[in-house]
A and B are shown apart, each in its own frame.
Chain A
Amino acid sequence: MASWTTLAFAKEAKQFLGDDAVLTQTAELKTYETDALVMMKTPPDVVVLPKTTEQVQQVIRLCQKFDLPFIPRGSGTGLSGGTLPMRGGVMIGLSRMNRILKIDAQKRTAWVETGVINAWLNREAKPHGLFFAPDPSSQGACTIGGNIAENAGGIHCVKYGVTSNHVLALEVVTPEGDIVQLGQNSETVAGPDWVGLFIGSEGTFGIATKALLKLMPVAQKTLVFLASFSALTDATETVSAIIALGLQPSALEFMDALTVKLVNQAFHVGFPEEAAAVLLIELDGDPRQVAIHAQQLHRILKEHGVVQLREATDEGDRLALWKARKGTVAAYGRLYPSFYLHDCVIPRSRLTEVILAIEELAREYDLLIPSVFHAGDGNLHPHILMDPQDRAMVKRALAAGEAILDLCLSVGGVLSGEHGIGIEKSGFMTRLFTASELEVMRRLKHVFDPEDRANPEKIFPMRSRCGEAHTGLPLKILQASGVWI
């Protein structure tokens, strides 16, 4: 039930946003109770849908007045529960701030509102021979603002870098209700890199309402190879060999046997089903360079026992392969209704041993854990398939997930490469950072948000200040959303 404070907030917000931009009804709020971490749900007290930066500013000032926290939200495709309103409060949806303001083909930049969908920008940039490099699998739905909040990556960031390498400037509404522009037209900075600090801060430093993005020229030549292997280790060692030769592919993706089978069933792309693993490798650039690198790639693949090699030469074939790759999550849905996904990053030289160990964990916990991941970055995405109604299975999935994280940390890995920490991995932060290190990070949060109003309870483990390290997923939320522990 809405509190008096919430109702009073909503009443005032409607005065400058209009009735249709302030949602308070239970049914309306239900849409916003979760993001792509669907096993965790908790609704906000109120949702507002501003259309301008000034309206966002007014909302935040109103939050100050009523002492309410706020939670920014794009399309809700985040995988770490970053938009869950852990303390209730006001959810600020940016979906109506969705204009591409200017594409400057000469300077290779674009000013956009942050509610713009990633794929829309690419659609508009393409006629100029340009593209925005970060391309998460949710690119058709996720917003630029979400990409900024999570420092999103994607398939092509192995060559082109993550979101923070492609943002030049931001217009931000601070948690104290000010509008500020961070950065300018250049990647050169003197002193703190405010833009770089803001990106990946998961909405805890304020709300980016506009962004000046760097666009890249579309490569003159692109080749995509689908290489299949009869042994999983042949595939992972091929990855190491490609990295070691310094080939710098624009994509280097790994899919295991189960993923291949499910993707074939879902998309009929004709991936070789007898393969123990396949690699999708993309080379792009100057045609002469691509030709030279393709020769080198052929040699590496041969040396590492490639069984079958398919080259996608035309755009239609290439797009079909990438569509299948980006659709793996949907393909997994054919086996189980849900999954628990991890996003850890490990040193690339440790791929083989970690992948084998994850296979072992799948057997130990009696689960299916198919893997599709950004091999070129060492960014693993083990999907622990499960049925949320099967309590025993959920319990095993959570335990297996924890074991995978520990495994990755034990080889020098980190908790997340592109999905963020959010609420889902906040409990594990004490395994990566000491209490003192977390305190140093909290000091940074204090610089931007001294009242802890912006997206509270994210990134940092609950109660870690008191030394009571909380580990794992927040039990309260899991139980509230119907997941039995």
Chain B
Amino acid sequence: MDTSWRPADIEHEETPRGLCVYPSTEQELTRLLREAAASKTRLVVDLGQTVLPWRAVLVSYVEMKAIREHHVSDYLVSVQPGITVGDLQRELNQEQQGLGRIYSPHRELISILAEETVSPSFYLAGPLRYQVTGLRVITGDGALFHYGGEVVKNVAGYDMIRLFIGGQHQYGLLTEVTLKTKPLPEMSRPMMLYFSHFKDAWHFVQAARDVQFDTDILAMLKPHERQGWQVVFRILGPEALVEANLSWFGRYMNTHQPRAVILPLAPEGLLHWIEHTDWTDITESQKEGLVLRIILPELDLPLFLQAFETERYLKYADLNLCVGSGALTFRFHHRHSPSFKQALQLQERVRDMGGQLLCLVAPATLESEYFALNQPQQTVLQTWSARLKQQFDPHGILPNRIGGSR
């Protein structure tokens, strides 16, 4: 690496954490990538409080936050990905539209897109990649690629959305995305339930799934300091439908009489909740320690919890399940994080159950060690992963989340 390299004509500053670059246009970002490739300078996208690895440059998206176009009648919006969720939602709300997903409003879209953050809205909306109809991206060697756009269906060429959304900045940096939007519901009723026992919480969630309860949010959460389980949902739709769903809910509670406390939430309360339970928010989580994700057939969750109930370190983890995603996310507080060896053992046992364990967040000094957990098990996938990096980031300037070489 040429340590004297500075991007020409692109805003940048020396910070206590090192060199931070603020491109504001696609052209600037393209030039930045090309210059970084030429000088073999590694780039890391700033997600807020990102700790800068040694001899790398931090790329901030704060200047790339424009709304390119809101195609109101097509229910699509094209934006630069540095925009925050809150700013985007506010703009959409002016036209009685929204993202149809809930995320912490202060998060930049770029971090959600790159990580394909699982949201409590997964239950209704599915994975985030389904909502993206177009993107513009610059690969690691500075090639600009444009795919899709204002169309909601597209099989012209390979579906590159599946590579770059959730690609964790490994293959290219996004400069623009087009997302589907949704009409704002006529009415919404967020609620939180505190169940004393897991089995009651689980029974409620399954019953809601079986009756196709009209909720966009359905999430289970167990903070480590509490015994019980929280379930959060939000009934939405036309008034008559909301009333009908509330009736079902009332009947359910009367019939089953679980040990639970019902707490209606105000919209601000819901946002407050999401801000404190989004454990993939790197900004927060990096201060806290380790975030692991276990992906498994969701109906096997009770079996999983039973199998691991004696694992001491799991007792000190916060756990969250966005229902429908099959993704159990564990946040370990620093003192109680499993060692790498323990994490490996956990991974083996999860694999035996037909699941998968991944590391989403690790303290900066331990990243390369814990990210090794993300190495695919099958040799073919290891080969393909290596080829992807070679093809899309031939100079190795972008992050490597598969572990080892970062």
Q: Check A191/B402 contact, CB under 8 A, given A347-B150, A414-B156.
A: yes
Stretch at the interface among B82-90, B268-276, B296-304, B339-347: B296-304
Residue B316 interfacial (CB < 8 Å): no
Residue B355 interfacial (CB < 8 Å): yes
Residue A388 interfacial (CB < 8 Å): no
Of B151, B160, B326, which is within 8 A of A444 by CB? B160
Residue B240 interfacial (CB < 8 Å): yes
Stretch at the interface among B103-111, B125-133, B253-261: B125-133
Residues of A399-452 at the interface with B, using a CB-CB cut-off of 8 Å, are: 412-421, 425, 429, 432-433, 436-441, 443-448, 450
Chain B, residue nearest A214 (CB): B126
Q: Check A378/B293 contact, CB under 8 A, given A188-B118, A192-B167, A444-B163.
A: no
In the bound complex, what is the Cα–Cα distance between A421 and B154 (angstroms)? 11
Of B168, B299, B381, which is within 8 A of A180 by CB? B381
Residues of B36-70 at the interface with A, using a CB-CB cut-off of 8 Å, are: none
Task: Identify which of B73, B159, B212, B295 gathers the most chain A CB atoms within 10 Å of its CB.
Answer: B159
Contact with B along A39-63 (1 / 0, CB 8 A): 0000000000000000000000000
Q: Are A190 and B293 in contact (CB under 8 A)?
A: yes
Q: Are B183 and A245 in contact (CB under 8 A)?
A: yes
**Which A residues touch B152, using CB under 8 A?**
345, 348, 377-378
Of B143, B145, B162, which is within 8 A of A197 by CB? B162
Q: Are B325 and A292 in contact (CB under 8 A)?
A: no
Q: Are A443 and B392 in contact (CB under 8 A)?
A: yes
Q: Check A345/B327 contact, CB under 8 A, given A191-B170, A292-B241.
A: no
Chain A nearest CB from B376 CB (Å) reads 8
Q: Check A191/B155 contact, CB under 8 A, given A161-B130, A178-B380, A444-B391.
A: no
Q: Are A189 and B75 in contact (CB under 8 A)?
A: no
Residue B364 interfacial (CB < 8 Å): no
Q: Are B214 and A416 in contact (CB under 8 A)?
A: no
Residue A185 interfacial (CB < 8 Å): yes
Residue B157 interfacial (CB < 8 Å): yes
In the bound complex, what is the Cα–Cα distance between A438 and B74 (angstroms)? 27
Residues of A142-200 at the interface with B, using a CB-CB cut-off of 8 Å, are: 150-151, 153, 157, 161-162, 164-165, 174, 178, 180-182, 184-194, 196-197, 199-200
Residue A469 interfacial (CB < 8 Å): no
Chain B nearest CB from A271 CB (Å) reads 26
Q: Check A217/B127 contact, CB under 8 A, given A200-B159, A346-B151, A447-B388.
A: no
In the bound complex, what is the Cα–Cα distance between A382 and B327 (angstroms)? 43
Q: Are A440 and B145 in contact (CB under 8 A)?
A: yes
Chain B nearest CB from A299 CB (Å) reads 13
Q: Are B384 and A194 in contact (CB under 8 A)?
A: yes
Q: Are B163 and A379 in contact (CB under 8 A)?
A: no
**Which B residues touch A190, using CB under 8 A?**
116, 166, 168, 293, 295, 358, 360, 374
**Which B residues touch A432, using CB under 8 A?**
156-157
Of B327, B354, B384, B388, which is within 8 A of A188 by CB? B327
Contact with A along B133-174 (1 / 0, CB 8 A): 000000100011111111111111111111101111011000
Q: Are B380 and A345 in contact (CB under 8 A)?
A: no
Q: Are B387 and A447 in contact (CB under 8 A)?
A: yes
**Which B residues touch A199, using CB under 8 A?**
159
Residue B16 interfacial (CB < 8 Å): no
Chain B nearest CB from A469 CB (Å) reads 15
Residue B310 interfacial (CB < 8 Å): no
Residues of A336-391 at the interface with B, using a CB-CB cut-off of 8 Å, are: 345-349, 374, 377-379
Question: How many residues does chain A have at the interface if contact means C-beta atoms less than 8 Å apart?
Answer: 80
- Range for the number of chain B residues in contact with chain A: 35 or more
**Which B residues touch A441, using CB under 8 A?**
157-158, 160
Of B129, B143, B150, B155, which is within 8 A of A421 by CB? B155
Chain B nearest CB from A367 CB (Å) reads 24
Chain A nearest CB from B140 CB (Å) reads 11
Residue A28 interfacial (CB < 8 Å): no
Chain B nearest CB from A118 CB (Å) reads 17
In the bound complex, what is the Cα–Cα distance between A106 and B297 (angstroms)? 11
Residue A243 interfacial (CB < 8 Å): yes
Task: Identify which of A162, A188, A413, A437 gathers the most chain B CB atoms within 10 Å of its CB.
Answer: A188
Chain B nearest CB from A202 CB (Å) reads 9
Residue A222 interfacial (CB < 8 Å): no
**Which B residues touch A106, using CB under 8 A?**
299
Of A178, A374, A417, which is within 8 A of B155 by CB? A417
Q: Are B153 and A187 in contact (CB under 8 A)?
A: no
Q: Are A165 and B126 in contact (CB under 8 A)?
A: yes
Chain A nearest CB from B221 CB (Å) reads 17
**Which B residues touch A8, using CB under 8 A?**
none
**Which B residues touch A164, using CB under 8 A?**
159, 162
Chain A, residue nearest B149 (CB): A412
**Which A residues touch B379, using CB under 8 A?**
178
Residue B395 interfacial (CB < 8 Å): no
Q: Check A416/B155 contact, CB under 8 A, given A188-B327, A192-B167, A289-B237.
A: yes
Q: Are A162 and B75 in contact (CB under 8 A)?
A: no
Residue A260 interfacial (CB < 8 Å): no
Q: Are B241 and A289 in contact (CB under 8 A)?
A: yes
Residue A240 interfacial (CB < 8 Å): yes
In the bound complex, what is the Cα–Cα distance between A374 and B151 (angstroms)? 13
Residues of A287-331 at the interface with B, using a CB-CB cut-off of 8 Å, are: 288-289, 292
Of A188, A347, A440, which is within 8 A of B325 by CB? A188
Q: Are B182 and A185 in contact (CB under 8 A)?
A: no
**Which A residues touch B74, using CB under 8 A?**
243, 347-349
Residue B238 interfacial (CB < 8 Å): yes
**Which B residues touch A153, using CB under 8 A?**
153
Chain A, residue nearest B239 (CB): A292
In the bound complex, what is the Cα–Cα distance between A286 and B215 (angstroms)? 12
Residue A201 interfacial (CB < 8 Å): yes
Q: Are B378 and A181 in contact (CB under 8 A)?
A: yes
**21 A/B residue pairs, CB under 8 Å, sorted by A:** A162-B155, A164-B159, A184-B354, A184-B356, A186-B296, A186-B326, A188-B122, A188-B325, A188-B327, A189-B127, A190-B293, A190-B358, A191-B168, A193-B163, A200-B159, A243-B73, A349-B74, A414-B148, A439-B143, A447-B384, A448-B384
Q: Which 5 A-B pairs have CB atoms at the shortest separation, nearest pair first? A: A246-B183, A186-B326, A196-B162, A443-B391, A185-B297
**Residues of chain B at the chain A interface (Cβ within 8 Å):** 71, 73-76, 116, 118, 122, 126-127, 129-130, 139, 143-163, 165-168, 170-171, 182-183, 212, 214, 237-238, 240-241, 244, 293, 295-299, 325-327, 354-356, 358, 360, 374, 378-381, 384-385, 387-388, 391-392, 401-402
**Residues of chain A at the chain B interface (Cβ within 8 Å):** 106-107, 150-151, 153, 157, 161-162, 164-165, 174, 178, 180-182, 184-194, 196-197, 199-201, 217, 220, 240, 243-246, 285-286, 288-289, 292, 345-349, 374, 377-379, 412-421, 425, 429, 432-433, 436-441, 443-448, 450, 459
